Structures are given as C-alpha cells and as structure tokens.
Amino acid sequence: MDVARIRELLEKVAAGELTIDEAVTRLRVLPYEDIGFAKVDHHRSLRTGFPEVIYCQGKAIEHIIAIIERLHERGGEGTILATRANPEVAEAIANVFPEAQYHPEARLVVIHPQTAAEDEPQILVISAGTADIPVAEEAAVTATALGGNVERLYDVGVAGIHRLLDHHQQILQAEVIIVVAGMEGALPSVVTGLVDVPVIAVPTSVGYGASFEGLAALLTMLNSCAAGVVVVNIDNGFGAGYFARMLTRQLRSRRGD
C-alpha cells in the first residue's frame, strides 16, 4: 500500500475536499503490495467483499508462508484461505500460525473463519457419490469459512434416485444449492428440476475412461435442459463455494433493505 497516498487521501477528507464515500471509492483501487515473487492484493475484500485466496498447488512453501504473513500482518484477524494445500503445506502453515485449521478432504487451510449470522440463507451442498465428496467438501468448507450457513447431503446420485427424493424437504429449504457429480454428471439437472433457487453444478473428474477426466460431466451440465443451473470448472469446488456465498450475502443484504 502507498502510505503517502493514504495520508494525502485522509488529509483531503479532513479538509472537506473529499467526502467519506469518495475516499472509500479511491481506496478500492489503491496499489497492491509487491513482495518480489508475488503482488499481494490487500484491498480485494474492500472491492469484492472477500479477501484474496492463496492457491497453493505449484507454489513453493516459503512463498505460501510469506504471502500468508503479509495478509495476516495487514488484515489482522481477517479470514485467510489457502486452497489445494497438501499435508506438507498445511503443517508448514500451522508451524507459523497455530490457529490454522486444516481440512484434509477439502485440501483447505483456514485461518480466522467467519461465523454465519443467525439469519444467514442456507447453502446446501449435494454430492452424487462418495468419490465426489472431496470436491463437495472444498465447496462446503469455502462457503463456511466465508460466513455461509452450509448443510451437506452426500451420496444421493441418480443411480439410486430414491436417496435424493427421500430428502426432498431438506432440498426445498435451501436458498442456494451446489451439486457435485462425476461420471455422466446428470444430478444437477434433476435437482434443478425440483427447486426454484439457483443451482451451481460442479463436474468432477470421477469416472471411467469415456468420462474424459470430467469432460463428459462438464458437457452434460452445460447442456442441461433444466433452467436455473450454472456450471463451474471441473473439480472447482472452491469456485462453487465462493459463488454460493456471494449469492447468499446478496440475499441477506436485500432482506435488510
């Protein structure tokens, strides 16, 4: 952050040359912090409502730790998410931040998760099979860490559709639904045909050869005949959980208007 620009901005507010709202608008676009190997975006939460998230896969552990340290130093008790973190990365983070929580199935490290408000709209995460649970958990943990009210319903795929229908009332109570499925990826279409709320479909790379590592499920979901379903990338539980939380935050905000 450019301290000189912050000081100048505050002086203009104090002098009456800028309103508080105008100052907030300018703060939204202040520079990131360049630490050499990364440019840390400290103001992402100001612009988008959620902090920058660290994608760990492919990054050096020392770089991950350094980014978290910068986010923690500037963000205080703000939420920090590190996705696609293996046990080695999680252990290294915990050595520096003992309060870090590791969710091994979701491959997520969470520091200072947000707490859901009592009137927070409900997000329901549904998985077709047990092999889809890791991606479903990435979605569920992401949404929960960002303050979402999350429930889970796992192993209710179309191979035994009665398992899904047995939970019809639970499904109807949700205000945003994430459906995670591999193989042919049919479950999101079925769920979308039962509800009047947004459905986020997540294809997984689960399946035999002709599933093409999730491509078959992705194409099925993109070609869904049920209206009201949106699709994220293959195995992108994080993206689904993040988007679901954006939706419920907007729902709660509009209820207060």
Classify each residue of 221-247 as buried b or exposed e, where b means 16 or more C-beta atoms within 10 Å of its C-beta.
beebebeebbbbebbbbbbbbbbbbbb
Confidence of residue 22 (pLDDT cuts 50, 70, 90): confident
Q: Which two tokens stand for residue 59?
A: 């990054």
Residues 151 and 226 in one domain: yes
Cα gap 166→15, rounded to integer Å: 64
Predicted TM-score of the model (pTM): 0.86
- What is d(CA 72, CA 100) in angstroms, rounded to the nearest whole number? 12
> Is residue 75 in a domain?
yes
Mean pLDDT computed over 14-36? 78
Name the least confident of 38-42, 147-151, 175-179, 229-233.
Answer: 38-42
Other beta carbons within 10 Å of 219: 14
Same domain, 39 and 149: no
Q: ∠240-246-248 over CA atoms, to 5°?
A: 105
Which residue is listed with tokens 């092999």? Answer: 131
> Percent of the chain beyond pLDDT 70?
93
For residues 150 and 79, membership in a common domain is answered with no
pLDDT at residue 1 in the model: 44
User: Do 126 and 154 fall into the same domain?
Assistant: yes
* Mean pLDDT, rounded, for 172-192: 96
152 and 214 assigned to the same domain: yes
100-132, pLDDT tens digit by residue?
999 999 999 999 998 888 889 999 999 999 999
Helix (H) or strand (E) holding 122: strand 122-127
Q: How far apart are CA 94 and CA 239, in angstroms?
A: 24
The residue among 199 and 11 whose pLDDT is bigger is 199
Name residue 6's amino acid. I
135 found inside a domain: yes
- Asked whether residue 2 carries a pLDDT value surpassing 60, the answer given is no
In 3-state terms, what secondary structure has residue 126? strand
Tell me whether residue 20 is in a domain. Answer: no
Domain containing 180: what range? Answer: 122-255
Greatest distance between any 2 Cα atoms in the chain: 68
Residues 226, 126 within the same domain: yes
The domain that holds 161 is classified in CATH as: 3.40.50.1970
Q: Which of these three, 42, 76, 111, is where a domain ends?
A: 111
pLDDT at 191: 96
Q: Answer whether residue 47 shows pLDDT above 80.
A: no
One domain for residues 98 and 133: no
Least confidently predicted of 21-35, 83-97, 110-124? 21-35
| pLDDT of res. 21 | 86
Is residue 240 domain-shared with residue 149, that is, in the same domain? yes
Which range (156-160, 245-249, 253-257) has the least confidence?
253-257
* Residue 107 and residue 133 in one domain: no
C-beta of residue 114 within 8 angstroms of C-beta of residue 146: yes
Contact in structure between 24 and 18 (CB atoms under 8 Å):
no
Q: Would 7 be classed as within a structural domain? A: no
How many domains, the chain? Answer: 2
